[in-house]
Amino acid sequence: MDYSSHYTADTRETLMQKVQMRMSERRFQHVLGVEKMAIALAEKYGCSPEKASIAALTHDYAKERPDDEFMLVIKRDGFDPDLLNYGNAIWHGLVGASFVERELGITDPEILNAIRVHTTGAAKMTLLDKIIYVADYIEPGRNFPGVEDAREIALVDLDEAVAFETKHTLAHLIEQEQQIYPKTIETYNHWVAKK
Ligand code: DGI
Ligand code: FE
Ligand code: FE
């Protein structure tokens, strides 16, 4: 189904309910915050607000799935087996898009890609990819040192906001001695590192 071409208040409501059933109230409020931010960024930067809404509402759809469901899909659907060395943080977007497609009937490749790259970013990102990546980081419910700077930058220059988020997320992961997924490094090399 191509949701975005007939996106009415009713379609949105139905989608919201399907998402809400799959997560805690707290996470659902995060999703609504991302949607609000994503629509504002879409209007500012000239992207489809309908696509921004759908991608935002579904970006964390699979976040509360058990690990074994992800591992089954990774093995069954031809994902890179190296993914098995990571966990929910990496799987819920990259693999989660498969659940969104199958269970919610969302087939729009732009929306599915924005879901896939929302955690790690990518070297090449579409406008919608950037909007979801940044909206996820600065939605009104986020509260961490630097979020105010990120919000200000996002209102001025979306690419700068992608760079800011990428730099700070990677620094945080390294500080915590977390595993870095190669795609996260690619994002850093493209958007942050001096050439
Ligand atoms: O799902 P959210 O919490 O709304 O946000 P997210 O999908 O952007 O990030 C989920 C977590 O993934 C967040 O704590 C940052 C982390 N993350 C991002 N890149 C990497 C990563 N974690 C690991 N281990 N490696 C990465 O490369
Ligand atoms: Fe996420
Ligand atoms: Fe999120």
Whose C-alpha lies nearest to ligand 1, atom 24? 179
Judged against a pLDDT cut of 60, whether residue 129 lies above it is answered with: yes
Q: How many residues appear in the chain?
A: 195
| Residue of 31, 84, 86, 119 to mutate, ligand 1, most atoms within 8 A of C-beta | 119
Whose C-alpha lies nearest to ligand 1, atom 16? 89
Q: Are 32 and 59 in contact (CB under 8 A)?
A: no
Domains and CATH numbers, the chain: 3-144 (1.10.3210.10)
Judged against a pLDDT cut of 60, whether residue 1 lies above it is answered with: no
Whose C-alpha lies nearest to ligand 1, atom 25? 180
Each residue's pLDDT tens digit, 24-83: 999 999 999 999 999 999 999 999 999 999 999 999 999 999 999 999 999 999 999 999
For residues 25 and 168, what is the distance between their CA atoms, to the nearest angstrom? 27
Strand ranges (E), the chain? none
Each residue's pLDDT tens digit, 80-128: 999 999 999 999 999 999 999 999 999 999 999 999 999 999 999 999 9
